[in-house]
Amino acid sequence: MVSGSEPRGGRWVLAGFGIFARNQLARWFRVAVAAVNRIAALTSIEAYPFWALVIVGIDVLVIYGLAAYGDRLGTPA
């Protein structure tokens, strides 16, 4: 196996569980991942314009949801 080609999906799954556990580090990790994914989707906009815009839209919603409402998860209504 080539160095650096190990699967990285486990970190994202752990971050997902961390968000459900109301971990702030996991929340901001996912915001950073969505921001990088948004930039990566913009680089492919010439080849796949529709799908790139769909991914950018989803990433914007993820960033907004985690940044705006992630802190309120632990507070009672």
pLDDT at 12: 74
The predicted model scores a pTM of 0.74
Whether 36 maps to a domain, the answer reads no
User: What distance in Å separates the CA atoms of residue 27 and residue 32, rounded to the nearest whole number?
Assistant: 9
Q: With bands split at pLDDT 50, 70 and 90, how would you rate the model's confidence at 4?
A: low
pLDDT at 71: 67
Whether 4 maps to a domain, the answer reads no
Domain that residue 51 falls in? 42-70
Q: What integer is the mean pLDDT of 19-32?
A: 88
Q: How many domains does the chain have?
A: 1
Whether 58 maps to a domain, the answer reads yes
Whether 30 maps to a domain, the answer reads no
Whether 13 maps to a domain, the answer reads no
Q: What integer is the mean pLDDT of 63-69?
A: 90
Res. 22: pLDDT tops 50: yes
Which tokens is 11 given?
Answer: 């970190």
